[in-house]
Amino acid sequence: MKLHRESKGTITVATILFLVLGALAIYFLKIWSLLIIVPLLVIYCLVFWFFRVPSRTILDHKENVIAPVDGKVVMIKEVEENEFIKGKAIQVSIFMSPLNVHICRYPVTGKVVYKKYHPGKYLVAWHEKSSTENERTTVAVETLTNHKVVFRQIAGYVARRIVFYCNEGDQAKAGHEFGFIKFGSRMDVFLPLDTEIICKIGDITKGGLDIIAKLKQN
């Protein structure tokens, strides 16, 4: 199983803790140490599972908007996006549980024209205000269809580290990685009002594979 590059520090700490706690359990509890070691082993394996990088065939897309993460669609709503679009947009939000793959992918193909990191709160990720009040990143891409699409990584109550690797001027390719969020969180995509929304609330998405919307050809 291939592991994500963001796993190194977490797995190192988890390994040290597992070995130390396991050794203490064996020393003090003898045969009863299994009551401690088995749950620790399950948690240790889950850490590896969290950082897995699945093998996926990413296709080329022009007007398609691709699911940027694995998770569940929890919101489709017309909102005011005041950071970059500065006007109305359709917000599609996808919630990730700690068991989902947490690689963040470009939802559209084009050119990165804006990026910014915002410190903030750690409200639960499904809270509507988390999009504007939580720690988050914002990226905007000018698409091949001449639209501006904004997407936002949002840290949640559990997720306390979000990273993004893109820079202004980079070429964005739908379905390809641009960042990572550690543990459960959310990602929002802000689309033009005339976008054809294909997904619906409750849909389970696979990042890089599922089409969630289609942009109008200009």
Quick: pLDDT tens for 47-95: 899 899 999 999 999 999 999 999 999 999 999 999 999 999 999 999 9
CA–CA separation, 79 vs 91, rounded Å?
6
Whole-number percent of the chain with pLDDT over 90: 77
pLDDT of residue 32 exceeding 80, the answer is yes
According to the model, what pLDDT value does residue 124 have? 61
Strand, coil or helix: what is 46? Answer: helix
In 3D space, the residue among 212, 151, 153 whose CA is nearest the CA of residue 185 turns out to be: 153
CATH tag for 64-214 (out of 3.40.30.10, 2.70.70.10, 2.30.30.140, 3.40.50.300): 2.70.70.10
In 3D space, the residue among 186, 182, 101, 172 whose CA is nearest the CA of residue 140 turns out to be: 172
According to the model, what pLDDT value does residue 158 have? 58
Beta strand extents in 82-210 (DSSP E only)? 87-96, 103-105, 110-118, 136-143, 148-155, 161-164, 171-172, 177-182, 185-191, 196-197, 204-205
Q: Where are the alpha helices (DSSP H) in 54-163?
A: 130-133
According to the model, what pLDDT value does residue 145 have? 96
The distance from CA 192 to its chain's CA centroid, rounded to whole angstroms, is 21
Give ∠ CA 79-83-89 in degrees, rounded to 5.
25
CA separation, residue 160 to residues 3, 43, 92, 120, 166 (Å): 20, 19, 22, 11, 20
Catalytic residue from among 7, 130, 131, 185? 185
pLDDT of residue 126 exceeding 60, the answer is no
According to the model, what pLDDT value does residue 25 have? 94
Task: Tell me, yes or no, if 55 is annotated catalytic.
Answer: no
Give ∠ CA 121-158-92 in degrees, rounded to 5.
75
pLDDT of residue 168 exceeding 80, the answer is yes
Q: Average the pLDDT over 197-213 and give the result.
A: 98
* pLDDT band (50, 70, 90) for residue 182: confident
Q: State the pTM of this model.
A: 0.89
